[in-house]
Chain A
């Protein structure tokens, strides 16, 4: 029972490169989320998805792209990485709409040089 996994766990990339962070959950949860965690800001929502092929912006979506062709996968792509996107990225899932907890992956630490 793997739950929710993220890959890679650590990534170093150069400014301007495209990078994709993967998220996979085994519960068939409808909702999936991407957050970034930075010192002094807590967690901020980047994008979320209510179901396959349904995605919407969160608080800080600029510079990121998501897709959800399958319920279990929710990749996050940085189309042209910038230093300000150096952060720890967390994926999460939730079973139902509203009033339910979210389950978090272990995170991906991304450094953009």
Chain B
């Protein structure tokens, strides 16, 4: 069963623009995490936001979490060509410590 669903499935922007990706989930969570995957590579952890947090920043990344709506958003500001990748949200559901359920991902293309 898919816990997280990302929206949009694909996003194409120009360098310098902001990119926003959304994630919705179904059940209560301990935390929500965002990962990046470059083509042909493994996933790299970007940021973790706990269920009692509403917003978190890391460099050019801003993540929000709305537990009442069961949704999260990832904002990448001033995008660069190197940000081109697939981005996945993953949820650690309540009562399932350390087990993550991944969404299907958003493919981001940043063009020069």
Chain A interface residues (CB < 8 Å from chain B): 31, 33, 35, 40-45, 48, 50, 58-59, 90, 92, 94, 96-107
Contact A43 B88 (CB under 8 A): yes
What B residues does A104 contact at CB under 8 A? 35, 42-44
A104 and B44 alpha carbons, distance in the complex (Å) = 7
List A contacts of B25 (CB < 8 A): none
Q: Name the contact of B98 in the complex, choosing from A35, A43, A97, A103 (C-beta under 8 A).
A: A97
Q: Please determine whether B48 and A99 come into contact, CB atoms closer than 8 angstroms.
A: yes
**Do residues A99 and B50 form an inter-chain contact, with CB atoms below 8 A?**
yes
Q: Which residues of B contact A (CB under 8 A)?
A: 1-2, 4, 30-31, 33, 35, 40-45, 48, 50, 88, 90, 92, 97-105
* A residues less than 8 Å from B103 (CB atoms): 42
For B43, the chain A residues whose CB sits under 8 A away are: 43, 90, 92, 102, 104
The total of interchain contacts (Cβ-Cβ below 8 angstroms) comes to 65
- Complex interface: chain B residues within 8 A of A105 (CB): 42
A101 touches B99 (CB 8 A): no
B30 touches A103 (CB 8 A): no
Q: Could you say which residues of chain B place their CB within 8 Å of the CB of A50?
A: 98
Q: In the complex, what residues of A have CB within 8 A of residue B98's CB? A: 31, 48, 50, 94, 96-98, 100
Whether B41 contacts A101 by the Cβ 8 Å rule is no
Interchain CB contact (< 8 A) of A97 among B1, B44, B97, B105 = B97
**Separation in Å of the B19 CB from the closest CB of chain A?**
19
| Closest A residue to B96 using CB positions | A98
Residue ID in chain A nearest B43 by CB atoms: A104
- Contacts A43-B88, A97-B97, A101-B33; A90 near B42 (Cβ below 8 A): yes
Tell me if A43 and B97 are in contact (CB < 8 A): no
Q: State whether A101 and B97 are in contact (beta carbons under 8 Å apart), knowing that A42-B102, A42-B105 are contacts in the complex.
A: no
Residues of A within 8 A of B50 (CB): 99
Residue of A at shortest CB range from B31? A99
| Bound-complex Cα distance A35 to B42 (A) | 11
Query: How far is A42 from B10 in the complex, measured between Cα atoms in Å?
Result: 14
Cβ A43 vs Cβ B102 within 8 A: yes
